[in-house]
A and B are shown apart, each in its own frame.
Chain A
Amino acid sequence: MSEPILTATGVTIGFPVKRGIIFQREVARVQAVDGVDLTLHQGETLAIVGESGCGKTTLARGLVRLRDIDAGSITYMGEDITRRSGRTLNDFRRQVTMIFQDPIASLDPRMRIGQSMQEPLDIHSIGTPAERKRKVQEAMERVGLNPEHYNRFPHEFSGGQRQRIGIARAIILEPRVIVCDEPVSALDVSVQAQIVNLLEDLQRDLGLSYIVIAHDLDVVRRLADRVQVMYLGRVVEQGEGEQVYNHPRHPYSKALLSARPIADPKLARSRERIVLQGDVPSPINPPAGCRFHPRCPVVQASCSAQDPQLEIAADGHGWACAYPLAP
């Protein structure tokens, strides 16, 4: 396998819970991401899956340095970018861009889409105004938009077209890595397929590496080479897509996969469905021992005491469970 392009080691991101207005005191901390490791190789797609609130988006924003991380390190092309700021951080942001979840909220309603897409070029002072416009129109053409719509406003486009605008804006700087934060979750199924195809085409043509944050497991299966499953801020299972999908070893991964809707009603009725009991515990005060133990269908007495770490086998399949499921 090629050299890692982006590596995160022990990334921890928390949000303070404060009391008071003048004499503010931190009374607790929401540990959204807790010691996550990941490695992305050139041309690879790594998917991060998990239920809402497990820390996927916070991790994504940390990886592109849209928010600072509390602990751990992020390395891009062998260089530590964790504490970068100013011009050197801008250089990194030219190489690693992001596609946001909500195509409506991620576009300024008062800016023409040409201006919106040109903004990264303006920030990085790339080309003359005429070259910038040409680059924007090329990017529009590449993502399947009509370049003549350069002067239109976001409200004049459909949801799928707006997400294409977001994708065009992400590729306009010719990055090497794109972090896609739920790129299709706000779109209907037929448009989802178009966007997934577009992402695949761009990856093939431009040699991009993707980190795809998603909770739609079918989209992940289609796009991802490797998958990491997150639960309450931690990675509980990781491996090649087929390993995680066909032989999940962590009970949470299995439950997550069993919740995936199947289009064939006969098949859907016959399969084993695992319904997790209870709610996701509070990340302010996570359970002792294994974080999944209060909801685990195969919980053992020792699970509330021991905190299993992610152990990775020789084939790259890893899981954080003291009593893993049979393959």
Chain B
Amino acid sequence: MNGVDWRAAALRLALLVVALLVLAGVLVVVFYAAGRPLRPAISAGAGVVGFAMAMLGIGLLAWSRRGSERVTGGTAFGAMALSLPFLVVALVV
């Protein structure tokens, strides 16, 4: 059995973060184009992504508690942790 492949894990994490940032960016553009001022558009874009990640984390937690072979509590809490910066941005901006 092997331990964690840290290089691959870092790459996956970086890809996920970039994907979330791109998604949030696209949402900001969409909201801005729809007529919202910039700051509320940023707030809404980050809020949607943060809320989605938080919900995903709760779902993954339920899944891991049911005894998934693949999904662990760490995965679920990781998703929730990733949602925090987006929710903070949504509230602060």
Contacts and interface: CB of A to CB of B under 8 A. Distances in A.
Interface of A: 16-29
A17 B78 CA distance: 21
B59 interface: no
A19 B72 contact: yes
B13 A22 contact: yes
A28 B74 contact: no
Contacts of A20: 4, 70-72, 74-75
A23 B69 contact: no
B68 to A, nearest CB: 9
10 contacts: A19-B70, A20-B70, A20-B74, A20-B75, A21-B12, A23-B4, A23-B74, A24-B8, A24-B9, A26-B3
Nearest to A29: B1
B1 A28 contact: yes
Contact of A21 (B1, B3, B71): B71
A86 to B, nearest CB: 24
A217 to B, nearest CB: 34
Most buried by B among A16, A19, A26, A28: A19
A25 B38 CA distance: 42
A22 B77 CA distance: 12
B20 to A, nearest CB: 13
B16 interface: yes
Interface string B1-38: 11111001100110010000000000000000000000
